[in-house]
Structure 1
Amino acid sequence: MWASLFGGGMPPARGAGRGGVYENVSLTVGNTPVVKISEKLAPPGVEVYAKCEFFNPLSSVKDRLAVAIIEDAEKRGVLKPGDTVVEATSGNTGIAIAMVCAQRGYACVVCMAEPFSVERRKLMRMLGAKVIVTPKAGKGTGMVRKAEELCAKHGWFLARQFENEANWKFHESTTGPEIIADFSGKTLTHWVTGYGTGGTFHGAGKALKRAMPSLKIILAEPEAAPLLKSGIPTERNSDGSPAVTHPAFTSHPIQGWTPDFIPKVLDDAPMDDLRDELFMVPGRAALETAKNLASKEGILTGISGGGTMYAALEVAKIAPKGSVILAMLPDTGERYLSTTLFSDIAADMTEAELEIAKSTPSFQLIPGKPPVLAAT
């Protein structure tokens, strides 16, 4: 509904409402807003936009994936009332699946490697999921193996986000058409996205290229984990899951991007038709751009969103005048409170803040001094 209302112009005014009510929270997934980036970050002569996937109910693009996989499994009859859903995840997919399972009454078990942020574990448990933390040394393939073992032993349903076609097909039918509708009043020239499973790139990319054949699609990858750049394929098991860690993988700070294998969902994409450029993103640049989006634009996104926007802004610097560039922001910065993204953000008052506090006499909380409530 929202996309059709936007029509490439202004969205409905505040107070207009959504024109109806929702039967359950999973129906609120999708139709996320596109927001323009100001000239504080965007270079002159071009327009840069962000599709803010943190407007999904559990604050990430993976809400789409969770709805897609569970609804597809229900339609195929492989997921029935009382069943348990299992997935291996860096966090956002697990949170999304836990949300849909809570809404529909399924038990949920999530396998997650230990380096990923602690707040993600807590969110999944808050949503009723059981979280199985796997050793750091096992990397992404380790958590996948654990999920497979649990399903084999207990007869549970494995979501298989990295291999499941329902993943990219949902993006083809929702994310891509939303973008097309929202840019109906202008010509979108560049679309920039990273990859976790590859579902957004594969599915939305197909829809966008059909509607906009001249569109340039830029796929971003961590500089520290150049799996696609290496040209080396991932070794796979017969079910498409990764057999071993990819030789080009090293650890990187862009959580949710690029596990230690090339996902089959990404591998299955018609790369020659979709990808116009592969852009390598330094981890530090992703972090700094996420911070700049927060402090200069009021947009709170995670490290992956910072990485995608960094790629978009770098593309904008060399793009022809009049270019219109859209970057995908996969999730919210609140998913990263215990990570490097917030490591230099103080919890206590800084010197500058203390000076402001002392500039008036009442209600002062100065370290080493008794609290002051009222000036004497």
Structure 2
Amino acid sequence: MLCAQRGYTCVITMAEPFSLERRKLMRFLGAKVIITPKSGKGIGMVKKAQELAEAHGWFLARQFEAPANAQFHYETTGHEILNDFKGHRLDYFVQGYGTGGTYGGAGRALREKRPDVKIVLAEPADAALVGSGIKTERRQDGSAASSHPAFKPHPIQGWTPDFVAKVAEEAVETVGYDDHITIPGAGAIQMAHALAKNEGIFTGISGGASIYAAVEMAKRVPEGSVLLAVIADTGERYLSTPLFSSVAIDMDEEEMVISKSTPSYQLG
């Protein structure tokens, strides 16, 4: 959106497994979207972006390494949380990570102003990279050099690529975390469905993962504790993903009965 407003050409590299809606949204806003093979995982799309920037002399945003990422969330998300909970109890901040910007920025704000709040780091069960204790190999510029050995593919798009971003690693080292929880992909999807049907909250798989993590932590912590989790996405980006695989396009039997309960405008 910023590039469209400023008249810049925007080129996005995106790994093949990401939802089709993401490609269409970026292209709708005028961006060029370069798809990288599934076999290359997240590290492949990052390296492709680096190659393109070097070859063409383009600016590379480097969201996985840039300190501005976490700083932005420190100044915005972090202070929004502090303002919302001013004078109110908050015991746990439950947060997953992609680049680590929200975790690092909001986490730092809480450590500074609300040091009593415990931070819980959430990761996919198939990609508990931080929990493995194995460091991500890095190039001199701080970017990941290779895929993390503890990574397995998971459906929680936006969480935990196949490396720990430099921003996330720095957050682990400086902000730290008080507890750690892993989230099954199926559980994240089920929670996203439950949020839509029971709460009217239309979120994607990562939003489902966030609330799943918070609910699981709520079972472990003292009764009456107040937990905070961030829902950072919308379900509209996931129509082509497993999140919607069980959602029918045509009317089911119950809907057909409702349709036939009045005489007009019935499908054959």
Superposition TM-score, scaled by structure 2 size: 0.98
Q: Say whether 1:352 aligns with 2:254.
A: yes
Distance 1:133 1:318 in 2: 42
CA shift, 1:211, in A, is 1.2
Q: In 1, Cα distance between the equivalents of 2:76 and 2:246? A: 37
Contact 1:253 1:283 in 2 (8 A): yes
User: 2-side partners of 1:309 and 1:103: how far apart?
Assistant: 34
Asked whether the 8 Å contact 1:209–1:274 carries over to 2, the reply is: no
The residue correspondences of 1:10-21 to structure 2 (distance < 5 A) are none
Q: Which has the larger radius of gyration?
A: 1
| 1:153-302 matched pairs, under 5 angstroms | 153-271=55-173, 273-302=175-204
Q: What SS does the aligned partner of 1:112 have?
A: strand
- 2:209 partner letter: G
User: Does 2:57 align with 1:136?
Assistant: no
How far does the alpha carbon of each residue in 1:332-359 deviate from its partner, in whole angstroms, 9 at most, with x for none? 0111000000000011111111111111
Give per-residue Cα distances to partners, 1:12-41, cap 9 Å, x unaligned.
xxxxxxxxxxxxxxxxxxxxxxxxxxxxxx
Q: Aligned partners of 2:34, 2:263: CA distance in 1, in Å?
A: 51
Report the RMSD for the aligned CA atoms in angstroms. Answer: 1.0
Which amino acid in the other structure matches residue 352 of structure 1?
Answer: E
> Structure 1 pair 132/273, CA: closer, same or farther in 2 (3 Å)?
closer
Distance 1:295 1:269 in 2: 35
Give 1 or 2: higher helix fraction: 2
Structure 1 residue runs without a partner (length 5+): 1-98, 370-376
TM superposition outliers: structure 1 runs of 4+ over 4 Å = none
2:25 paired with 1:118:
no
C-alpha distance in structure 2 between counterparts of 1:158 and 1:273, whole Å:
26
Can you list the C-alpha shifts for 1:80-108, whole angstroms capped at 9, x where unaligned?
xxxxxxxxxxxxxxxxxxx1111222110
Q: Deviations over 1:188-242 (max 9, x none)?
A: 1111111000010011100011111110111110001111111110000000011
TM-score, normalised to structure 1's length?
0.70
Using the alignment, how far apart are the partners of 1:226 and 1:205 within structure 2? 19
**What amino acid maps onto 1:297 in structure 2?**
E
For residue 192 of structure 1, give the secondary structure of its aligned residue in structure 2.
strand
Q: CA deviation at 1:315?
A: 1.1
Residue aligning to 2:227: 325
Task: Tell me the equivalent position of 1:17.
Answer: none
- Could you tell me how far apart the structure 1 residues matched to 2:207 and 2:121 are? 13
CA distance in 2, matches of 1:215, 1:229: 21
Gaps of 5+ in 2: none
**Does structure 2 retain, via aligned residues, the 8 Å contact 1:193–1:328?**
yes
The answer as to whether partners of 2:107 and 2:175 remain within 8 angstroms in 1 is no
Aligned AA (1:108): C
Is the 1:286–1:304 contact (alpha carbons within 8 Å) kept by the matching residues of 2?
Answer: yes
Q: 1:166 to 1:272 in 2, by over 3 A?
A: closer
Note the C-alpha offset of 1:273. Answer: 4.4
Give the Å deviation of 1:361.
1.1
CA distance in 2: counterparts of 1:313 and 1:241, whole angstroms: 34
Shift of 1:271: 3.7
CA distance in 2, matches of 1:163, 1:154: 21
1:216-274: CA deviation from partner (whole Å, max 9, x where unpaired): 11111000111111111000000001111110111000001100101000111254743
Residue identity in the other structure for 1:184 = K
Q: Is the 8 A contact 2:104 2:175 kept in 1?
A: no
| SS of residue paired to 1:224 | helix
- For 2:265, give the aligned amino acid: F
Aligned to 1:63: none
The answer to whether the 8 Å contact 1:199/1:266 transfers is yes
Q: Distance in 2 between matches of 1:185 and 1:357?
A: 52
Give the partner amino acid of 1:215: V
What amino acid is aligned across from residue 96 of structure 2 in structure 1? G
